[in-house]
Structure 1
Amino acid sequence: MKARIFFLSLLCLLTFNVTFAQSLKSVSILGDSYSTFEGFIPDGNSIWYWKTPNPSLTDVDKVTQTWWHKFVKENNFKLLVNDSYSGSTICNTGYNKEDYTDRSFITRMKRLGCPDVIFIFGATNDSWANSPIGDFKYSDWTKEDLYNFRPALSYLLSNMIDYYPNIKIYYILNDGLKEEINNSIKDICKHYEIPLIELNNIDKKNGHPSVVGMQQISEQLKSALFLN
């Protein structure tokens, strides 16, 4: 009898754990260096955060210190895809006016699987690289348009809305970017009704979130999404 009760209790516990795991909402990330970590992004994508980092560049040396790992673990989500690429721009124009079509956000936007939530965390490199800003344009994009930030961001959001129906998409806006970039993101997200999460006073080292900064990002996301 005791053995039977133990078996039933164990079965209930296992069933609960499986059901709970299946009920967790999944998260995918489309990002740049801020969201990279060695071994957790697609092979071939450039990395900023390594398992054995250069201490003069960053103090982040564990994946558990990254903003996205903290957010997923502490708020009962599960990570589906993290397609982040260090140095990548939203548009197809990168540093020194080089063609970044191979790594841009608009090239990688359909690689995120089928999550419940998508975080887009980009434009830092568009700001730093002085990518051409371009004009606001919400349809009929040409190949040339996509080498400019504003039309490329519109193209990105428009296509993601169609490609990921019934999936909640959030845009994370870094602090410290050029006002022209900030204002463009706010206007374009408003046009497409994409919720915008603005980061504030993130602690950084060499322009990238430190261990403290990673925790701040996770906490600010949690607060913005009312997960307290």
Structure 2
Amino acid sequence: MKNLWTVYLLIMSALCYSLTGLGQSHTPKKVSILGDSYSTFEGYLTPDSNYNWYYKIPRQKNDVRKVSQTWWHLFIKGHQDVLETNNSFSGATICYTGYHKDDYSRESFVARMYNLGHPDIIFIFGATNDSWADSPIGDYQYSDWKTAQLYSFRPAMAYMLAHMVKQYPDTKIYFLLNDGLKDSINKSVIEICKHYNIDCIKLTGIDKQSGHPSIKGMAQINDQISAYIKKERTGHLAGNR
């Protein structure tokens, strides 16, 4: 009789564990990144011909040494997710105008936005080089884009988001907005993300070395993204879009 009672208790415990969801396994989400130098690391880019900034043999003026120290690797491991595609390109602008007014149409975010695999989550981490390169800001435009207009930031940004929400209809898209950018870029990103109902995570106080996140800065980026998503999923976001 005692043994039967023990078996009964074990069965009821297992049932309660299952019903409360505690026994459910985590289904990893596939995460893709569309980014610039901040999201690169040698050996982890698709395609591998993209330019890197973070290498296995590290730069002297930045302390990031391992891929495990990058913001996206920290996020993926911390959430038990998997990397789908990291299509990041060092120096890339969102629009077609790069440094010294050179034509960056090949490496631009607009050119690379379709090559992200089949993710559940996309992080777009850009606009830094558009700000630093002093790319033309242009006008807000949400349809009927001409190629010439994609050489300016606002039309290119809108063009990118408009096409990405159609290309990835079942994917959650976040835009990561770096701190320290020009006010015109910040306002444009926020306005255009709002137009397309894309969450814009505004980063603050990121520690940098040579203009790029340090180990501390990478951890700060991950922490701020994770905090935002936690609030979003628990319904505690207010006025952050």
TM-score, length-scaled by structure 2: 0.84
Deviating above 2 A after TM superposition, structure 1's stretches of 4 or more consecutive aligned residues are none
Match of 2:53 in 1: 48
Q: Unpaired segments of 5 or more residues in structure 2?
A: 1-23, 235-241
How many residue pairs are counted as aligned between the two chains? 208
Match of 2:80 in 1: 76
Match of 2:38 in 1: 34
Deviation at 1:20, TM superposition (A): 4.8
Kindly report the root-mean-square deviation, in angstroms, between the aligned alpha carbons of the 2 structures: 1.3
Equivalent position to 2:192, from 181, 188, 194 = 188
Bigger radius of gyration among the two: 2
Match of 1:95 in 2: 99
Deviation at 1:163, TM superposition (A): 0.5
Match of 2:66 in 1: 62
- Aligned counterparts, 1:100-179, within 5 A: 100-179=104-183
Paired residue secondary structure (2:191): helix
Separation (CA, whole Å) in 2 of partners of 1:127 and 1:107: 18
Match of 1:8 in 2: none
Separation (CA, whole Å) in 2 of partners of 1:20 and 1:80: 20
Deviation at 1:54, TM superposition (A): 2.0
Deviations 1:182-211 (A, max 9, x none): 000000000000011000000000110000
Deviation at 1:44, TM superposition (A): 1.1
Q: Unpaired segments of 5 or more residues in structure 1?
A: 1-18
Deviations 1:101-146 (A, max 9, x none): 1100000000001110000000000000000000000000000010
Separation (CA, whole Å) in 2 of partners of 1:144 and 1:20: 50
Equivalent position to 1:222, from 223, 226, 230 = 226
Paired residue secondary structure (1:226): helix
Separation (CA, whole Å) in 2 of partners of 1:182 and 1:154: 14
Paired residue secondary structure (2:110): helix
Deviations 1:73-101 (A, max 9, x none): 01111110000000000000000000001
Deviations 1:43-66 (A, max 9, x none): 11111000011222x110100000
- Which residue type is aligned with residue 179 of structure 2? D
- Which residue type is aligned with residue 224 of structure 2? Q
Percent identical: 57
Deviations 1:9-61 (A, max 9, x none): xxxxxxxxxx957x2111000000000000000211111000011222x1101
Q: Does 1:205 align with 2:209?
A: yes
- Which residue type is aligned with residue 52 of structure 1? I
Separation (CA, whole Å) in 1 of partners of 2:123 and 2:53: 19
